[in-house]
Amino acid sequence: MSLKKGTGSMELGECTRNPGYQNVEGDGPAAETINVDPGEKHNSSALKLDPDAVEEYTQIKPYAGMPKEVLLQYSSQARYRVPREILFWLTVACTLVLVALTITVIALSPRCLEWWQASPVYQVYPRSFKDSNGDGVGDLKGIQEQLDHFLYLNVKSVWLSPFYRSPMKDFGYDVEDFRAIDPLFGTMQDFEELLAEMHNKGLKLIMDFIPNHTSDQHRWFNLSRTRDPHYKDYYVWVDCNATGPKPNNWVSVFGNSSWTYDDVRGQCYLHQFLKEQPDLNFRNPNVYKDMTDIINFWLEKGVDGFRMDAVKHMLEATHLRDEPQVDPSKPAESIQTEFDLHHDYTYTQLGLHDMLRGWRAVLDVYSREPGKYRFMVIESYDYQELEKTMMYYGTPLVRESDFPFNFYLLYLPQNASGLWVKDLVHLWMANMPKGKWPNWVVGNHDKPRIASSAGQTYTRVINMLLLTLPGTPTTYYGEELGMENINVTDSQIQDPAGKYNASASRDPGRSPMQWNGDVNAGFNIKTNITWLPVHPDYRSVNVEVQMKDEGSVLAQYRFLNTLRQSELPLHRGWFCYVHADASVFSYLRELDGLDRAFIMVLNFGKESATTDLSSIRELPDQLKVLMSTNRINNGKVFQKSRILTEAGEGLVIQYSTHTLFNPNHPEQCYVSEKACYLSAIDILYKC
């Protein structure tokens, strides 16, 4: 390397050696030389030296801007290479550890609860929820106006009873067009706007799907009765005549024969409900295909799930034999109700579950998008044949419904007893397939309101039961207020079942929703018309009044629902029976790894009771009430040997423990999917 005086610049000579360049591994000069092409052009950043600088350049340490060749000489030295390699392999190791931890957490984490598990299902009966146009009948726009009510309750899942185009012989369960909205409820645009607004607010919409039958005004039926080649077998037709005997002794749900003669076709058709509701023939594959297309139509609209109505009626035995009588000695001509027969040939026939599983597969296709799971719930009243109901859960290999509705708590008013309530709860829990998700129903549009049938005294404790049991509760509109049945005179009856038998009318439980103390309870603020009378207690039992009262039925419902969704033991922990007697039913909820648990003490008896839980060694000696349905007892401390409750009172008690109940009493405990809590990093994991 040489300096040219006079130019003030330094140039590299070919094959020059810098004797001052010290090899870091020794004290002598470096043996290496730097070979440079003499003809190489140098850029303007070449190092400039003062003209008076020394002629020989000496460089002992690395410097900024050093040539690549010099940099490589230093980078290969051990003191630079080793730290660099250590840092590289540490980075690789940390990355691998993080990937392994992520995979482990994902593998060990229990699956997240779906939206239909995390929230109660709230049933809206559209005719009675909110009237937006003043015709006295609730509608879709009215529902949209009240969406904030669901948010206030912390409810995310809303089931709407039918709003299809219909002659309204059975208030929408007689469908004239499955792809149209009845003008009474609005338009398709109204529905689409409602659905969009619900999704904007984080709400899910569940529709009623009615596969068993149509209206006799449906296009398919009109084509079938004229023997159209494609539609002639869309319904169940049998030879008979207008005056002769019916094809067999089959009886309609609404009473009398299931067969009606049609003058146009000259045959009888089957209807397991009203004669205006002819049964579809699902043994015709075209019927199943068309009904599947209807499911696809609404899924494309964006609905979040379906309640499958009256599915046990979908298939009938082709031999058409008489069904056995419950009382063989009863004269055949006196058979008039469904309860007079064993329905061996009309209910839950072979092939039914295959069809339902096919529809489950359709919903699964639309569930592939994250956060868009499509829910399916089955309605089937199987009464004493509980094993038939449980079949709707599917099998370990083939999925069917997410759950069939559990109607057995509807029998709760028959006996005011803690033992009775435990028996009803255990009936479902003991028969449900392992790992499945339970659910609870105490009212719907077909049954009397629970506040009337059980008594207003028990309204709050029943809500507490629903919202603290494991699984999904269903709330029929107004139950969060404690709404009761109305009295309906014969001239006011609207229900077709009531017109056949006044004592069987379902109208008393379908009265307009009570929003406030204004005219018509705020249901219709434009005119003085309501399709059924408003309950006379609407000035004191309504949403507006109860929102202002921290001790109201509504406030307690909201508190319990929020608690259920915020506390791990309540929405996915163990459920364990603790105590039951003539008055009190008590159970606890706990989660492995979590030192916080809850015990419920619910008095369903007719008088006050003192409960002794001193034999439960896992409980602390003193128990503090988090919430009582009798507000003055909130925060009260009881000795576990002496817990006092009044008739109809329920207690939610939160306590701390390091000794869980379920390991020592596995036969008394249930969990759908076991999970444990790791407090150190605040996560759930499979255990």
Of 139, 262, 279, 379, which is the active-site residue? 379
Pairing of strands 574-580, 584-590: antiparallel
Report H helices in 109-183.
115-118, 126-129, 140-145, 147-153
The 3-state DSSP class for residue 394 equals: strand
d(CA 368, CA 363): 9
Q: Which two tokens stand for residue 112?
A: 């997240």
Of 139, 309, 484, 592, which is the active-site residue? 309
Q: How far is CA 39 from CA 11, 14, 36, 44, in A?
A: 12, 10, 9, 16
**Contact between residue 280 and residue 291 where contact means Cβ atoms under 8 Å apart:** yes
Q: How far is CA 512 from CA 91, 452, 600, in A?
A: 67, 16, 33
**Contact between residue 178 and residue 164 where contact means Cβ atoms under 8 Å apart:** yes
Contacts of 670 (CB under 8 A, 6+ apart): 429, 470, 574, 575, 576
**Contact between residue 574 and residue 591 where contact means Cβ atoms under 8 Å apart:** yes
The 3-state DSSP class for residue 144 equals: helix
Q: Which of 634, 632, 640, 633 has the alpha carbon at shortest distance from 610? A: 640
DSSP code per residue over 505-519: --GGG-PPP---SSG
Q: Which two tokens stand for residue 468?
A: 């603290």
**Contact between residue 521 and residue 513 where contact means Cβ atoms under 8 Å apart:** yes
Other Cβ atoms less than 10 A from the Cβ of 55: the count is 9
The 3-state DSSP class for residue 181 equals: strand
* Beta strand residue intervals within 368-417, DSSP E: 375-378, 403-404
Report H helices in 393-510.
418-431, 450-453, 459-468, 496-500
Give residue for tokens 């979040």: 304
Verify whether residue 309 is a known catalytic residue: yes
**Contact between residue 194 and residue 207 where contact means Cβ atoms under 8 Å apart:** no
Q: Which of 126, 119, 123 has the alpha carbon at shortest distance from 155? A: 119
Verify whether residue 607 is a known catalytic residue: no
Give residue for tokens 């030389």: 33
Angle, CA of 401, 407 and 408, to the nearest 5°: 125
| Max Cα–Cα distance, the chain, nearest Å | 135
Beta bridge partners, 336, equal none
Q: Which two tokens stand for residue 470?
A: 């494991």
Q: How far is CA 393 from CA 153, 206, 306, 575, 612, in A?
A: 29, 18, 15, 20, 38
- 490 exposure class (CB count in 10 Å sphere: 0-12, 13-18, 19+): exposed
User: Which of 351-378 are b and which e, b meaning 16 or more Cβ less than 10 Å from the residue's Cβ?
Assistant: ebbebbeebbebbeebbeeeeebbbbbb
Q: What single-letter DSSP state applies at residue 161?
A: P
Other Cβ atoms less than 10 A from the Cβ of 204: the count is 24
d(CA 234, CA 218): 11
List active site positions: 309, 379
